[in-house]
Amino acid sequence: MITTQGDTDFVWHDESANNAEKTTLIVFQQNEVGFASFIAGMGLIGSADPVCKIYNKLFQVPSYNTIPEPTFPEWRVYEARNDRGERFFILRMTHTYPLPTAGSGDHAWLYTYPIVRDVIKELSRVGVDELVYLTTNQMQAAVGYEGNAYATLHPKDVVVFDFCLPEDEPMTMSGKIISKDLVMPQPSWMFGEIFTNYVPEAVGCWIVIGYANREMFIDTQTAGQLLHYFDHTYGLSHDTETMDKIVLLLEDLEQLTDIPTMDRLMNDTWYEGDFSSEWV
């Protein structure tokens, strides 16, 4: 089944997932520094197949591809259930519009807003009324980050901010108030801004932020802290075998001097033991 919102096409591979049901949407971007949100997100997905594939002409898709097993260009949505049978959609963003560099224009909103708007309109149609954006404090890992002016998180910190109550200060899971500002790059804050305005009946819109360290290529500790949040808050389990395989692949990636597109490292049978082609 194919549905369309604006310029975005949604290819539903599981028609039961297209039925309206109260649902929490978890969102992560797979290419963040440290890969903690990627490891955690894929741990929540496990070996599940996508229930929906998302296509838009504004996606940042390379001109070249490889055969056999070409890289896929779409974002993917997976379905999970917690120990109470409640439904979760997990949106895996394989790419987003790049952050501006010195001397370049900032066009992130222009290329990101239409896609996020369409995704939220379509998924709210099938019952999404809560959003959790999973990320780490990416700007903390940037060279020149002003730690005296902005918040610096510690390795065990997991900060939760409620976009439905934007005046409230963010707080760690242990109850510590973050009094300094957190600098949030796109598309994290864009999801919160758009969701709270397009889904007025939302029961919650959260951004969950872990620690980030530019010296650490693979941050499994923060991934574990993020997964603890989902277990504690939502009763969601995770697949440690999937996470272990991803970490092994990232370790291989760390050794490469000519880094390929991450989607090219695995194919759709990766969790059955084939690690040679592209990510699912």
67-112 per-position pLDDT tens digit: 888 888 999 999 999 999 999 999 999 988 777 666 667 888 898 9
CA distance 56 to 162: 29
CA distance 66 to 223: 31
Residue 257: per-residue pLDDT = 47
CA dihedral 138, 140, 146, 151 (to 10 degrees): 100
pTM comes to 0.87
In this prediction, the residues of the chain whose per-residue pLDDT falls under 70 are: 100-104, 141-148, 256-280
At residue 48's C-alpha, the angle toward residues 45 and 52, to 5°, is 90
CA distance 154 to 243: 23
- Averaged pLDDT of the chain: 84
Residue 280: per-residue pLDDT = 35
- Nearest CA-CA partner of 54 in 120, 135, 100: 120
At residue 66's C-alpha, the angle toward residues 63 and 67, to 5°, is 140
Residue 255: per-residue pLDDT = 74
Beta bridge partners of 91: 27, 77
DSSP E strands, the chain: 2-5, 8-12, 23-29, 52-56, 75-81, 87-93, 128-136, 158-162, 171-172, 204-210
